[in-house]
Amino acid sequence: MLVSFVALYLIISILIGVYAATKVHSAKDYVTAGRSLPMWVVIAMVFATWFGAETVLGVPGTFVEENLGGLISDPFGASFCLMLFAIVFARPLYRKNLLTLGDFYRERYSKPVEIVVSIAIALSYLGWVSAQITALGLVFNVLTEGALSMAMGIVIGAGIVLIYTLVGGMWSVAMTTVVQMTVIVLGLLWISFMVSEQTNGVVPVIQHAYEAGKFEFWPSLEWAAVITFIAGFLTMGFGSIPQQDVFQRVNSSKNERVAVWGTFFGGVAYFLFAAVPLYLAYSAFMIDPQMAAEISEQDPQLVLPTFVITHLPMYAQIIFFGALLSVIMSTASGTLLAPSVTLSENVIRELMPKGKQMTDQQFLTLMRIVVGLFAVLVTLYALYSLQHETSIHSMVENAYKVTLVVALVPLFCGIYWKKASNFGAVCSIISGLVVWIPLELIVPDAPLPPHFAGFIVASFAMVIGSLIKPEPQTAAA
């Protein structure tokens, strides 16, 4: 019965996405939904895109293993990123009326900078999208009680997300997100209410977690611990700023005010609601400590879904897994579209001969092809990560290292520093990569995290390079 309801929900999601395709008449419709989305839809999209598999499965698993301090990157860093993007970046970027974030690097610097940064942005999505697809595989595996393997679940999940993202683009993302956010919020709140009846309220759960030391947040006063803590926050808080998915939600807003405050309140909603899965997962340790401990040793990410299946009635299971699938698919669809659009607009299109420019419909077809190819790449990466037992939370954390090193400094300086030049941007990118990649390969566990070192070097190189050659370099028309 549970599997039947889940299958019905998946079919409905696909049908909504297919219907959304009727609103796509141009490449811009496909990418920005006609720049017509109101405040509540933008808030829903920002919230639902970031409230993903790592929030429901990965973050509670990390909390169980590492206490509250282990969540410095997500949700603390992630929600900080959204609010910072809204205040600092949303307004100037919205005014430019660009198709992708990569377009900014072309207009402000040059085509080579655009291409390199766009590739880096696209690569960063491998970990994030793969985390969502891996979570779908995990859910299907749990629902079928192991009859469907994780690997097969990953393949099926990727196919479902691909179908409705492929046909409707941003319109599909927007329309399915409205439904999915409703299911997420109402579903998880209802489940929390039912669980609280078994724990005699929320306060006993908080007290139990406090006594178990789960609210330990600050690192020990040792160099390595402090730097790792700060780097974890900055990787997510800063590294996820130059991302196409955040930019798309800003750029799809109907006006500048919606772009700013829709993103800001989406970030606030994400931070507040991220506490709900933590509460649900830790409740298992009060209600059935033996089961929770055994599952935690096997895989902490399975504590919450296993608890729901073993301790809640069927209708509650349907609500939970409906909400969980909504969480995963809303994030997966948005993050699958973003890198595909970036690769199409800022890499493939830029590398084409000048005499072979595409029509709007040809470009729309190209984007759909790239969406399909990127989905295949993501699926392969998810299967690889499954084989190497990489956690969902780790996959998301690692996704933003490349954008922190390569993309953030040129973006910030390009907006707020008039002396920022193409030469400075090139120096920043090259220096950051030259420092980060060798350190990542040779000493990944160094006291100063390699990507953090790359970011610092990239920042200095941007300033020095721009001062050496301060004249702004604009791209050829």
Which sign, positive or negative, has the C-alpha torsion 177, 148, 194, 70?
Answer: negative
At 390 the pLDDT is 66
At 164 the pLDDT is 67
- How many CB atoms within 10 Å of residue 247? 30
At 474 the pLDDT is 46
- In the predicted model, residues of the chain with pLDDT beneath 50 are 473-477
pLDDT tens across 277-288, in order?
A: 889 888 888 888
At 473 the pLDDT is 45
Query: Do 212 and 64 meet the contact criterion of CB atoms below 8 Å apart?
Result: no
CA gap 337, 173 in Å, rounded: 9
C-alpha distances out from residue 262 to 41, 249, 268, 409, 448, Å? 8, 9, 10, 25, 36
CA gap 421, 427 in Å, rounded: 10
pLDDT tens across 203-252, in order?
A: 998 998 888 888 888 888 787 788 888 888 888 889 889 988 888 888 88
Which residue stretches of 252-348 are H helix? Answer: 256-273, 275-287, 289-298, 303-311, 314-343
At 16 the pLDDT is 72
At 54 the pLDDT is 73
pTM attached to this predicted model: 0.80
Domains annotated on the chain, with CATH: 2-399 (1.20.1730.10), 417-477 (no CATH)
CA gap 177, 190 in Å, rounded: 19
At 212 the pLDDT is 84
